Amino acid sequence: MKEVMQIRVDPPGITCGNPPERFCTLENPYLCSDECDASSPDLSHPPQLMGDRERGGLITYWQTVTWSRYPEPLLANITLSWNKSLEVVDDITITFEYGRPTSMILEKSMDKGETWQPYQFYADDCLETFGMSPKRFSDLAPSNLTRVICTEQYSGWVGAKEDKVVVFEVRARFGVFAGPKLINMDALYTRMETTTGLRDFFTFTNLRLRLLRPALGGTFVQRENLLKYFYAISNIDVPARCKCNLHASQCVLRDATLQCVCDHNTTGQDCQRCRQGYASRSWRSGSYLPPPRGSANTCQAAETAAKCECNGHSNRCSYIDFINVVTCVSCKHNTRGQNCQFCRLGYYRNASLSLDHEDVCVECECDTQRSVSPHCSDSGLCQCRGGATGRRCDACLLGHTWRGAEAGCTVNVCDEERLICQNGGTCVDLQRCVCPDTFTGSLCEQSICLKKSGCLDNAEGSSSSLTSHLCLLILSLITYTL
């Protein structure tokens, strides 16, 4: 796909060389003899070098300006466009020179850049950077294979000349169903047909890299060596094929645009509708089932096609004579309604898909213990119980902790960051502070008087005047006795 891939970087001026600029390497930040100069073919690093085919061992790469404006963030976006729906078929790999970013996000669009969704988060500390627990692909199960995760696998500093590659694992996801060597493809195809959203997970029209923080060399930012912080990418590989909804075996370049050569009486750039003269409402994507050849789901001529107005989710209708209404029967794909135009309870509509798409209704997947109901809003938001948050109510609000189905997400009394036990107190299970003998209060913030040791000042200066007078009296009596 490199021949038709278009690359855009922003913001303007993020590419180095205009004006010329010196830069250092992380291995030797004090030797800054390298230069980026857009006017020199040998010293320039334009964006198109991320997609060139390197030959003869010469590594070419795109490079940004250095982080000379620290602490202002050094941010860069790389957008890859094909102007066509594609299906990724193997691992997406990005090769960085001079160190992999400390944090970045891989995003995708299915509507040619109108809207974006995250594919995967990358950071050396996922919890601190994105508020997400770190995971690897191996932590996922077949039931949540499309879950967006944050991984720390590709962001730790190991040396600029060692690991350079950042990966979005695709082959391993296929292997969950087809086996490590992808031998049992029928099982994968069956899952593609029966698992909601799995086909769309591997579909995109655009990809975007959001580079949020450059490689730091395993240390904190060194302000005296800002010329060693920048981004550089030598290669981006996106193994993909045209998405033709299983209605074409060829994809060609016509007028600089990818186009499926459609069969089965279909038409459109993705073979996404029936040809003129055929029943457009009967259009369906081709099916992998039954194996091994699947089903073509050919568009029928208008005079022979079913007349039901069911948005492709049913081919059976029933006439209710006493109200003079024709209604669809046995709506499929989790739809309901007179014309199969609504989603079943427990599902919501994917607004990025047409109404006749077989995956238009997406399961709510509301957390059974943290949500009020298994049903969600039209936008897919579940109604959360107190203290819970997230689209699916599968997380707790900041300052809350999950304590089982009965207690739910309860507010923390103490912690190690904001609600710290004072005066030597110890936080137990985020629910109480165990205080020394001379202090009390929810955070051990109040001092108390003991008969033997007298009175210690309140850590916050909030003791009442009565308590202060009593303490002074006790101290005077102890002194007089001694």
Q: Do residues 7 and 50 touch, judged by C-beta distance below 8 A?
A: yes
Would 230 be classed as within a structural domain?
yes
Would 48 be classed as within a structural domain?
yes
| Structure-model confidence comparison of residues 65 and 300, the more confident one | 65
| Model confidence pLDDT, tens digit, residues 85-121 | 999 999 999 999 999 999 999 999 999 999 999 999 9
Would 73 be classed as within a structural domain?
yes
Q: Does the pLDDT of residue 74 top 80, yes or no?
A: yes
Q: Which residue range is the domain that position 258 belongs to?
A: 244-306
What is the 3-state composition of the chain as percent helix, strand, coil, each rounded to the nearest 5? 15, 30, 55
| Structure-model confidence comparison of residues 161 and 49, the more confident one | 49
| Structure-model confidence comparison of residues 143 and 148, the more confident one | 148
Task: State the distance between the two ends of the chain, measured CA to CA, in whole angstroms.
Answer: 92
| Model confidence pLDDT, tens digit, residues 35-69 | 999 999 999 999 999 988 776 678 899 999 999 99
* Across 380-394, average pLDDT: 93
On whether both 182 and 253 belong to a single domain, the answer is: no
| Model confidence pLDDT, tens digit, residues 420-474 | 999 999 999 888 999 999 999 999 999 987 544 555 444 344 444 344 444 444 4
Torsion angle defined by CA atoms of residues 330, 335, 336 and 338, in that order, rounded to the nearest 10 degrees: -80
> What CATH number did the domain enclosing 218 receive?
2.60.120.260
Would 407 be classed as within a structural domain?
no
Helix (H) or strand (E) holding 7: strand 6-10
* Structural domain count, the chain: 4
Of 75-79, 300-304, 436-440, 473-477, which has the strongest mean pLDDT?
75-79
> What CATH number did the domain enclosing 254 receive?
2.10.25.10
* Across 20-35, average pLDDT: 87
Compute the distance between CA of residue 118 and CA of residue 104 in angstroms, rounded to an integer. 11
- Which of 66-75, 82-91, 317-326 shows the lowest mean pLDDT across its residues? 317-326
* Across 233-244, average pLDDT: 95
On whether both 49 and 155 belong to a single domain, the answer is: yes
Please report the beta strands in 382-451, taking only residues with DSSP state E, as ranges in sequence order.
382-384, 388-389, 395-396, 400-402, 409-411, 426-428, 432-434, 439-440, 446-447, 449-450
On whether both 63 and 206 belong to a single domain, the answer is: yes
Compute the distance between CA of residue 251 and CA of residue 4 in angstroms, rounded to an integer. 12
* Across 380-408, average pLDDT: 90
Would 9 be classed as within a structural domain?
yes
| Model confidence pLDDT, tens digit, residues 185-223 | 888 888 888 888 899 999 999 999 999 999 998 889 999
On whether both 283 and 327 belong to a single domain, the answer is: no
What is this structure's pTM? 0.64
pLDDT of amino acid 450: 56
Q: Does the pLDDT of residue 279 top 50, yes or no?
A: yes
- Which of 82-86, 186-190, 279-283, 372-376 shows the lowest mean pLDDT across its residues? 279-283
pLDDT of amino acid 469: 43
Q: Does the pLDDT of residue 277 top 60, yes or no?
A: yes
On whether both 192 and 300 belong to a single domain, the answer is: no
On whether both 141 and 161 belong to a single domain, the answer is: yes
Compute the distance between CA of residue 251 and CA of residue 242 in angstroms, rounded to an integer. 6
pLDDT of amino acid 320: 74
Task: Spell out the long-range contacts of 7-12 with Cβ–Cβ below 8 A and sequence spacing 24 or more.
Answer: 7/47, 7/48, 7/50, 7/51, 7/78, 7/79, 7/80, 8/47, 8/78, 8/79, 8/81, 9/47, 9/62, 9/76, 9/77, 9/78, 9/79, 10/76, 10/77, 10/79, 11/75, 11/76, 11/77
What letter would DSSP give residue 287? Answer: B
Nearest residue to 164 (alpha-carbon basis) of 231, 97, 64 = 97
On whether both 234 and 271 belong to a single domain, the answer is: no
* Across 356-373, average pLDDT: 92
For the chain, percent of residues with pLDDT exceeding 70: 89
Would 340 be classed as within a structural domain?
yes
Helix axes 171-178, 185-194, angle to 10 degrees: 100
The alpha carbon dihedral of 269, 270, 271, 273 has a sign of: negative
Say which amino acid occupies 127.
Answer: L
On whether both 148 and 273 belong to a single domain, the answer is: no
pLDDT of amino acid 33: 83
On whether both 288 and 331 belong to a single domain, the answer is: no
On whether both 271 and 234 belong to a single domain, the answer is: no
Under the banding of pLDDT at 50, 70 and 90, the label for residue 367 is very high
On whether both 348 and 323 belong to a single domain, the answer is: yes
pLDDT of amino acid 155: 93
For the chain, percent of residues with pLDDT exceeding 90: 59
Burial class (CB in 10 A: 0-12, 13-18, 19+), 32: middle
- In the chain, what's the furthest Cα-to-Cα distance? 113
Under the banding of pLDDT at 50, 70 and 90, the label for residue 321 is low
Compute the distance between CA of residue 352 and CA of residue 113 in angstroms, rounded to an integer. 12
Q: List Cβ neighbours of 192 (8 Å cut-off, separation of 6 or more).
A: 198, 199, 288
- Final residue before a domain boundary, out of 189, 220, 241: 241
Would 464 be classed as within a structural domain?
no
- Final residue before a domain boundary, out of 200, 221, 241: 241
Q: What is the mean pLDDT of the chain?
A: 87
How crowded is residue 324: how many other Cβ atoms within 10 Å of its Cβ? 7
Would 355 be classed as within a structural domain?
yes
* Residues forming beta bridges with residue 347, ordered by sequence position: 363
Helices and strands of the chain, counted as H and E runs? 6, 35
pLDDT of amino acid 454: 52
On whether both 236 and 249 belong to a single domain, the answer is: no
* Residues forming beta bridges with residue 396, ordered by sequence position: 388
